[in-house]
């Protein structure tokens, strides 16, 4: 799946919280334990899923040659935290045009990742390195912390978490997300004019119940 620059920019502007609500898909949100390595990190792009054996990052090195430019690597490690990714792979990813990394394992070289402003979202941080002996899956559909991921699905990640929207549902979600953002902007304008959230959300019966 290919997304336009305008779609990806809109996805980042709307953010994961708005898009999650707009999607209507409870399974689109990844585990809340997957967090940005540095504050303010955000990314949007087509998913390139892969699976690593616990403590083994060979699949990531293979993915560097197979993932289309602009992809977000979505890496399952069975939640085994080790240093699957660091500065070396970040430089390789930048050269390969990889947009970002989402991994349910660990990463290291945090100062370098932060300095380079490369978007990384992980379960943890670990100085412990990995072996390179097996590659269970590269580019095939996976389950990422219970969230289905196929190549080309829309990945959006920011300070609020990681969202993975099925490719067939992406355009609808972006449209609904923009409508939701427009509605919230009107709400906020009304709030500055003295309206209450009870009034705007038609919850005045709760005021009467007091």
The answer to the question of residue 27 being in a domain is: yes
**pLDDT of 91-115, one tens digit each?**
999 999 999 999 999 999 999 999 9
pLDDT of residue 207: 56
202 confidence band (pLDDT: 50, 70, 90) = confident
Query: Residue 51 pLDDT more than 70?
Result: yes
The answer to the question of residue 45 being in a domain is: yes
The answer to the question of residue 200 being in a domain is: no
**What domain range is 39 assigned to?**
5-174
Domain harbouring 16, CATH code: 3.50.30.40
The answer to the question of residue 133 being in a domain is: yes
pLDDT of residue 197: 76
The answer to the question of residue 123 being in a domain is: yes
**pLDDT of 127-144, one tens digit each?**
999 999 999 999 999 999
pLDDT of residue 208: 58
pLDDT of residue 186: 81
pTM of the model: 0.92
Q: Which run of H or E residues covers position 36?
A: strand 35-36
The answer to the question of residue 48 being in a domain is: yes
Domain count, the chain: 1
Percent of the chain with pLDDT over 70: 97
192 confidence band (pLDDT: 50, 70, 90) = confident
Q: What is the 3-state secondary structure (H, E, C) of the chain?
A: CCCCHHHHHHHHHHHHHHHHHHHCCHHHECCCCCEECCCCCCEEEEEEEEECCCCECHHHHHHHHHCCCCCEEEEECCCCCCECCCHHHHHHHHHHCCCEEEEEEEECCHHHHHHHCCCEEEEEECCCCCECCCCCEECCCEEECCEEECCCCEEEEECCEEEEECHHHHHHHHHHHHHHHHHHHHHHHHHHCCCCHHHHCCCHHHHHHC
The answer to the question of residue 179 being in a domain is: no
pLDDT of residue 184: 83
Cβ contacts of residue 186 below 8 Å, gap of 6+?
none
Query: Residue 145 pLDDT more than 80?
Result: yes
The answer to the question of residue 157 being in a domain is: yes
């Amino acid at each position: 799946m290919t997304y336009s620059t305008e779609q990806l920019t809109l996805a980042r502007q709307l953010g994961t919280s708005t898009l999650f609500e707009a999607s209507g898909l409870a399974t689109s949100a990844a585990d809340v334990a997957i967090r940005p390595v540095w504050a303010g990190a955000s990314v949007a792009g087509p998913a390139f899923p892969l699976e690593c054996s616990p403590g083994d990052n060979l699949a990531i090195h293979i993915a560097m040659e197979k993932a289309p430019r602009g992809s977000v690597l979505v890496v399952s490690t069975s939640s085994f935290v080790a240093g699957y990714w660091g500065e070396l792979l970040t430089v390789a990813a930048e050269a390969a045009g990889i947009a970002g990394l989402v991994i349910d394992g660990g990463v290291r070289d945090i100062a370098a990742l932060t300095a380079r402003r490369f978007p990384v979202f992980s379960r943890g941080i670990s100085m412990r390195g990995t072996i390179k002996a097996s590659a269970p899956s590269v580019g095939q559909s996976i389950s990422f912390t219970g969230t289905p991921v196929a190549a080309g699905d829309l990945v959006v990640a920011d300070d609020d978490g990681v969202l993975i929207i099925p490719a067939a549902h992406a355009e609808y979600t972006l449209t609904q997300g923009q409508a939701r953002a427009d509605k919230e902007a009107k709400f906020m304008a009304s709030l500055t004019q003295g309206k209450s959230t009870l009034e705007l959300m038609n919850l005045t019966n709760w005021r009467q119940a007091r």
